Amino acid sequence: MRRLGLIFALLTVPCAGLAAEFTTLKGHGGPVMGIAVSETGQVATASFDNAVGLWDGRDPTWLEGHEAAVTTVHFADPSLLLSGSDDFRVLAWAPGLSKVQEIARHKGKVSDIASSAKAKIIASASWDGTIAVRRVVDLLRTNSMTDLLYYTEQTLTGHDAGVNALGFAKETGQLYSASTDGTIRAWDLSSGEGRVVLRHGFGVNRLVLDDAAGWLAYGAVDGVTRVIDLRTEAELHDFTLERRPILAMAYHPGTRQLAVGDGQGYIMMIDTAAWKIVRDFRATRQGPVWALAFSADGGMVYAGGLDDVAYGWPVDAMDKFAPAIEGERSFLRDAATMPNGERQFMRKCSICHALTPGASRKAGPTLHDLFGRRAGTVQGYNYSPILTGADIIWSDDSIGALFDLGPDHYIPGSKMPMQRITAKEDRDDLIAFLKTATQSGE
């Protein structure tokens, strides 16, 4: 995998000095779902806007290839960035590739990606209950001068529900997984068998581990944050603060800091040398902390949530800052302040679609001048193949049918989220709102 560093060098610029000050990474068109930092300091972000942001300081390079929200990003090493998405795919990015390479395709959303540099293994977790394992053999150059990752394939099954998180032991290459079924499993990759390490009463969302120090930490739906001994599997520490659910975890081995993010917007910082909470910082005014990552030197922690921005706080001074993530999404506005049609739009459409003309970084095309427009015709938007040239004209009837049946039934294969508006009155109110809000005014 070291050979990949030659072709990825243009994008691996160390972000020197960022750990000394509060940082905002602005530009996404939707909430930030995942953050990763390479060992050279490169920051990558995953967003609901279907894009990966690669940050040189505060200037992004947009990596676009997913067809739905990007949920997770991971640096296998400084030369190889991986992303997973609600489009069920894992993509590999490098400027030497003639195009982005798909290295795994699940049957459900991709929730996490992990890698073992020791064994040259990439693993991806999915809500379909499986783990895809890819052993990277080499970087090949074809006759067309296209660089490709070559790998062998393996699928691990055994969890009874979606797999939420993965972690490799650095010393041994042992793979661990956490699932909605409430278990953490350790996998024998030679046999493909998984052994239950822990049974928790609720779904386990996140895990991190330090096998050199002999522990694994996990966070669950019920707010539990605990640490177990990897050898005996006995509980070592409990840092549960009755805030639920736990949605994000990050660990920096060099400084031995463990960060935990929850659904109520807090980042708890644990010193794993002393096993004590050293900071409990409110990062958001409302909404969750979905993503966490430490800078390469451990001096800064990055976080993402409902905002279209990723934030970074200097760890030593983070308690001096007010909450930065506003979480003021349109769908969180007080329902009593809006007419019903606008309320339906805010809850069902606003996170993906703008009402104003022109391009945006939102996940869906603008709805400006919607009525009478043929589906799949907004210039510059990357539609699903099913919508390109589709014989659908947006009207009262077609919009009503879209939300009556649900996009997955009305337009099978489209990128639109699976959702319905079951009450005809609500659909009619939405249509009336859209007629006014999307017209050009000419």
Average pLDDT estimate for 222-234: 97
Q: For 100-245, where are the E strands, in sequence order?
A: 101-105, 110-116, 121-126, 131-141, 147-156, 163-168, 175-179, 183-188, 193-199, 204-210, 215-220, 225-229, 235-238
Asked if residue 53 has pLDDT above 90, the reply is yes
Q: Half-sphere exposure of 385 toward its Cβ, with a 13 Å CA cutoff?
A: 1
In angstroms, how far is CA 228 from the centroid of its own chain? Answer: 26
Q: Which residue has the higher pLDDT, 141 or 2?
A: 141
Mean pLDDT to the nearest integer, 241-261: 97
Question: How confident is residue 99, by pLDDT bands cut at 50, 70 and 90?
Answer: low
Residue in 400, 394, 375 with CA at minimum distance from that of residue 385: 375
Contact, 260 vs 239, CB < 8 A? yes
Distance of CA 299 to the CA centre of its chain: 23
Q: Region 377-395: what's the mean pLDDT?
A: 84
For the segment 153-195, what is each residue's pLDDT rounded down to a tens digit? 999 999 999 999 999 999 889 999 999 999 999 999 999 999 9
Provide the pLDDT for residue 333.
Answer: 61
Q: How far apart are CA 14 and CA 18, in angstroms?
A: 10
Which residue type does 77 have? D
Our separate counts of H helices and E strands in the chain read 5, 28
Taking each helix axis from N to C end, the angle separating 340-348 and 424-437, rounded to the nearest 10 degrees, works out to 90
Q: Is the pLDDT of residue 147 over 60?
A: no
pLDDT of residue 96: 52
Query: What is the distance between the alpha carbons of residues 301 and 299, in angstroms, rounded to a whole number?
Result: 7
pLDDT bin (cut points 50, 70, 90) of residue 441 is low
pLDDT grade for 252, boundaries at 50, 70 and 90: very high
The torsion of the CA quartet 61, 379, 361, 436, rounded to 10 degrees, works out to: 170
Residue 334: per-residue pLDDT:
64
Whether the Cβ atoms of residue 113 and residue 151 lie closer than 8 Å to each other: no
For residue 208, is pLDDT > 90? Answer: yes
DSSP string, 268-284: EEEETTTTEEEEEEE-B
Among candidates 338, 366, 351, 359, which has minimal Cα distance to 438? Answer: 366
Nearest to 306 by CA among 281, 332, 343: 332
Distance CA 289, CA 264 (A): 7
Q: Which of 90-104, 255-269, 327-341 has the lowest mean pLDDT?
A: 327-341
Closest-CA residue to 420 (of 412, 410, 431): 410
Question: How large is the average pLDDT for residues 284-312?
Answer: 95
Q: Is the dihedral of CA 155, 161, 162, 165 positive or negative?
A: negative
Query: Quick one: three-class SS letters along 45-60?
Result: EEECCCEEEEEECCEE
* Residue 398: DSSP 8-state: H
pLDDT computed for residue 95 by the predictor: 57
Which domains are assigned to the chain?
A: 4-320 (2.130.10.10), 330-437 (1.10.760.10)
Which pLDDT belongs to residue 362? 74
Q: What is the pLDDT of residue 178?
A: 98
Report d(CA 30, CA 309) in Å as an integer.
8
pLDDT value for 211 = 96
**What digits encode the pLDDT tens for the residues 106-136?**
999 999 999 998 878 999 999 999 999 999 8
| pTM given for the model | 0.79
The two tokens of residue 296 are 């390469």
pLDDT at 137: 75
Q: Is 342 strand, coil or helix?
A: helix
